[in-house]
Amino acid sequence: MLCAGIDIGSRTIEVVLIEGGSVVETRQAASGFDPLQEAMRLLDGVKPDRLMATGYGRHLLEVAMDTPTVTEIKAYGAGGAFLFPEVRTILDIGGQDSKAIALNGSGRVLKFEMNDRCAAGTGKFLEIMAQTLGYDLDQFGREALKSPDEIQISSMCTVFAESEVTSLLAKGKDRSHIAKGLHRSVVKRAVSMLKRVTVAEPLLFAGGVAQNPCMVDMLQEATGTTILVPEAPQMVGALGAALLSSSTP
């Protein structure tokens, strides 16, 4: 039986196809200004026996195609436990939200915290800060990781932080030091959220921000736990939706 999961996020859309308990194909595209159209394009040519949607825009497919949906929390729990059965905590930092999830050891969600009200501490925040500092996104994390020093950033509001960074640059401050300080501020916010669900080792780091080496390094240092990063950290939600579709009666 071919099962598909689609995660319609605010920034990107992922599709995972599974058959016989194994991943057979993955697809990804930017959400763009019309997420439903992009989702339909990604599913073009796919004829799954079952399809389940998750993510920010899951209800678009629910209305358009009568597609069953599942919350991101449950989808990430299922996907994370499939990839790493030993995982007990999941941190997902995506484009415009972040979430911390505590699991019981079999993929069942015990508790979660979510930040979805502003871009603070998300991929969008880091993207804007990278642009302000003149880095591309990949370079941003690498340069921050190499920096021997950091400058503390007082504001987590994207607008105020951008103004603060601009002011620091005008004073001649080293941009790599600023970059490291910005990463530190995001990690502090993430750790604060994780503590509210109780961090248990090992911790799975998912979402696009998990591809940032400075974030991974700082998160491991701040939590003192083993950090697991999937080969494709943005696919965890779509994988979980596919798995849950296969187990739905």
Residues of the chain with pLDDT below 50 are none
Q: What is the pLDDT of residue 129?
A: 95
pTM of the shown model: 0.92
Q: What is the pLDDT of residue 117?
A: 64
Q: What is the pLDDT of residue 30?
A: 94
- The b-or-e profile of 205-220 (16+ CB within 10 A means b, else e) is bbbbbbbbebbbbbbe
Same domain, 152 and 248: no
Q: What is the pLDDT of residue 12?
A: 94
- The domain of 246 spans 1-84+232-249
Q: What is the pLDDT of residue 249?
A: 66
Same domain, 70 and 183: no
Phi-psi bin for 105: left (phi > 0), alpha (psi -120 to 50), beta?
left
Same domain, 34 and 106: no
User: 22 forms bridges with which residues in the sheet?
Assistant: 19
Residue 238: its H or E element: helix 236-247
Q: What is the pLDDT of residue 199?
A: 86
The whole-angstrom separation of Cα 178 and Cα 133 is: 8
Q: Which residues contact 12 (CB under 8 A, 6 or more apart)?
A: 28, 29, 30, 31, 95, 208, 234
Same domain, 213 and 116: yes
Q: How many CA atoms lie within 13 A of 141 on its CB side?
A: 19
Same domain, 33 and 131: no
Q: How many domains does the chain have?
A: 2
